Amino acid sequence: MSLLKVEQVSRRFGSLVAVDQVSMTVEPGEFRAVIGPNGAGKTTFFNLISGFLLPTSGRILFDDQDVTAVKPANRVKLGMARTFQVTEIFPELSVRENLRIPVEVAAGHRLKPWQSRADARAMDERVDELLQRSGLTGKAGRLAGELSHGDQRATEIMMAIALNPRLLLLDEPTAGMGDQETYDVTQLIRKLHREQKLTVVLIEHDMRVVFHLADRVMVLAEGQLLAEGTPDEIAADDAVQEAYLGAEAETA
């Protein structure tokens, strides 16, 4: 049974068709990458999956449940979590405090006026586990806003992991990074995918990251599905090469 099905989804903004009848099926445990030139509709597509936008037409199924009109917070409760192009953390809080917030949400304690000692201890242990797995233990007490870009992104990814997702949506997780930060974040994502058998859908411009991580790749161009296949099949696809070379020529 597929975990995620996107069926003929479109999104219009007036006369602009940002996503045009795109379908995608993602199996449990799969690592899927979504690529395409700038303006291809990738982030709009993510916003449709995660509920930040409603489709003009088509539907979205998560674990065989129609979630097309389900709000983002309720999709999180069902097992979706995502990160954003611009890192979404609380810069004025410590790394530990950033992780504690989603841990409390996942445990159902965020709006409770009090916690038992056992509950507080369990959440502290969960935060410690997340810190250890991400390599951030030594930076737990630092303000998140003082960290390097790579460590901020790692913090955001672990905040998503703290919600115990079955589907993790990553929107350009290595954007703006140097080679070492890109390598470190890629290794973290690969580790989480393998250890937790997570289903991951990734938007990424760095083809090294895509070909290193993805089982399958889908290519969007001008809001439409251009190609889909294994990394090797996509790398050899003439239409994909033309779409990217054409985009480069327009911006040259």
Closest CA to 153 of 87, 209, 99, 228: 87
**Residue 87 confidence (pLDDT):** 85
**Residue 160 confidence (pLDDT):** 96
**Residue 252 confidence (pLDDT):** 37
Residues in CB range of 226: below 8 A, 6 or more apart = 36, 219, 220, 239, 240, 243
Mean pLDDT by 10 residues, the chain (252 residues): 96 96 96 93 96 97 97 95 89 96 85 73 95 96 95 96 96 92 95 92 92 94 95 91 61 40
**Residue 251 confidence (pLDDT):** 44
Compute CA distances 18 → 11, 168, 215, whole Å.
6, 23, 26
pTM to 2 decimal places: 0.90
d(CA 50, CA 153): 19
Burial string for 20-34 (b: 16+ CB within 10 Å, else e) reads bebebebeeebbbbb
Q: List the beta bridge partners of residue 13.
A: 16
Domains and CATH numbers, the chain: 4-91+165-251 (3.40.50.300)
**Residue 70 confidence (pLDDT):** 97
Torsion-angle region of 143 (φ positive above 0: left; ψ -120 to 50: alpha; else: beta): beta
d(CA 145, CA 22): 37
Taking the CA atoms of residue 231, residue 237, residue 240 and residue 241 in that order, the dihedral angle to the nearest 10 degrees is: 110
